[in-house]
Chains A and B, each alone.
Chain A
Amino acid sequence: MRTLIFKDIDDLIINSLGIVAFISFFVGGVVAIQTSLNISNPLIPKYLVGFATRQSIILEFAPTFISIIMAGKVGSFITSSIGTMRVTEQIDALEVMGINALNYLVFPKFVALTLYPFIISIAMFLGVLGGLAACVYGGYGTLEDYIEGIQTDFIPFHIIYAFAKTLVFAFLLATIPSFYGYYMKGGALEVGKASTTSFVWTSVVIILANYFLTSLLLG
């Protein structure tokens, strides 16, 4: 069981770091540029760029949109790997050996995804950093203004809100794709279809959960 958990940590968490880091850094940059281009009014303080970038990254971009990307990456990986085991009868082979295959396959993924908040923290950090880099090196503002912005009106509850969402999304990322893989029927072609369906439904449920959690926690 321990080897399975380590394998899933590797497949689901470690292997996602690269893409998450890349996307977060550049999207953070774009958010900063867009914000700064949209404030032409000289009365609006310069630190607003840092402030707005921090808010959008921490509240929505990192927890929600990275989760949608993970529904594509991690979710379809889970569906296709469990689905392949189903169609190649590896799941039947486990059951013949007296193993509860659903537990055996899904539990390690749950454990691995408890590290999911770690991915989201990295996305938050790199998003804000990307905003800083774009802002300063692109000539949209000064380092001091940006730093002041990301320290302005900091509300600790926002962090709790963001990580509460993250944990819910981690749970959805482990369960929905596993379900589609475990209960699939057919052959290799259906594995591909199941992965797509699983991505669509995981994203839809994440977006709806985001809506309800936001109105519940912040509304």
Chain B
Amino acid sequence: MIEVKNLHKSFGDAHILKGISTTFEKGKTNLIIGQSGSGKTVFLKCLLGLFEYEQGSIAYEGRIMSNLTPNEKRDLRSQIGMVFQGSALFDSMTIAENVMFPLKMFTKQNQSEMQDRVDFVLNRVNLSDAHDKMPSEASGGMQKRVAIARAIVNNPKYLFCDEPNSGLDPKTAIVIDNLIQEITDEYQMTTVINSHDMNSVMEIGEKIVFLKDGLKEWEGSKETIFKTDNESVTDFVYSSNLFKKVRRMYIEENQ
């Protein structure tokens, strides 16, 4: 479980996160949603320890991150997997080398142990024959799967994904969403996903935190998000014309 309390983050004069508190539970897919520019990526990077923040606290299983010693921090890092928005694969390494990289950094496994683990996770994301390709030769969907394989290769307790299906076609996007949810359930990870995609919200939003202008505007789940009368949330949810139509039809049918 991850607990965030009153998190504040600024860049110079720009106050980006203005006091966010929430919790993310184990074995669940937790979604952070909001329009682009609302601070989702900044929030996630604070959780990861990539950004310093001015105020507030982040606790992993009750241990406050800013109080950890460098060794404990390194230990925590080894339990975190991150899928970046553009996949962030190292473009000078093959797909297999990319996936093996965290094992080289965090474990003392020998080459054949690492090889086995890489084969296993690449199989898990349905990429059993892409080992020797370079990232630039892979499609966007494949790159995302490699990024997920790299994120989970070291058996992390925590998985973070920044807009995992941005730039993918709707079909591939759902495959990726479902993959993340299955993996979360299978390995009982605490998963936090940034998204602005309503499909993801409906598929995998076990817990949803809605950010607006650096504040937590609303919190709930995929079951409650359609019932809320918070205007910012309904604005966001029905921002697409398709949803508006569906909603109108739904209301008409039920009259």
Contacts and interface: CB of A to CB of B under 8 A. Distances in A.
A92 interface: yes
Contacts of A95: 50
B86 A98 contact: no
Contacts of A98: 74, 77-78, 105-106
A155 interface: no
Interface string A93-117: 1011111000000000000000000
5 contacts: A93-B82, A93-B84, A97-B105, A98-B74, A99-B105
Minimum-distance CB pairs A-B, first 4: A89-B88, A93-B88, A89-B84, A97-B105
Interface string B70-86: 00001001101010111
Contacts of B86: 88-89
A90 B91 contact: yes
A7 interface: yes
Nearest to B101: A97
Interface residues of A, number: 11
Contacts of B92: 7
User: How many B residues are at the interface, by size bracket?
Assistant: 20 to 34
Most buried by B among A90, A93, A95, A98: A93
* Most B CB within 10 A of own CB, among A90, A92, A95, A98: A98
Majority DSSP secondary structure for residues of A touching B: helix
Contacts of B226: none
B91 A97 contact: no
Interface in B234-253: none
Nearest to B154: A97
A204 to B, nearest CB: 27
B90 A93 contact: yes
B102 interface: yes
Interface in B94-109: 101-102, 105-106
B45 interface: yes
B48 interface: yes
A96 B50 contact: yes
A129 to B, nearest CB: 36
A96 B48 contact: yes
Given A89-B84, A89-B85, A97 B77 contact: yes
A90 to B, nearest CB: 5
A11 to B, nearest CB: 10
Given A89-B85, A92-B45, A97 B102 contact: yes
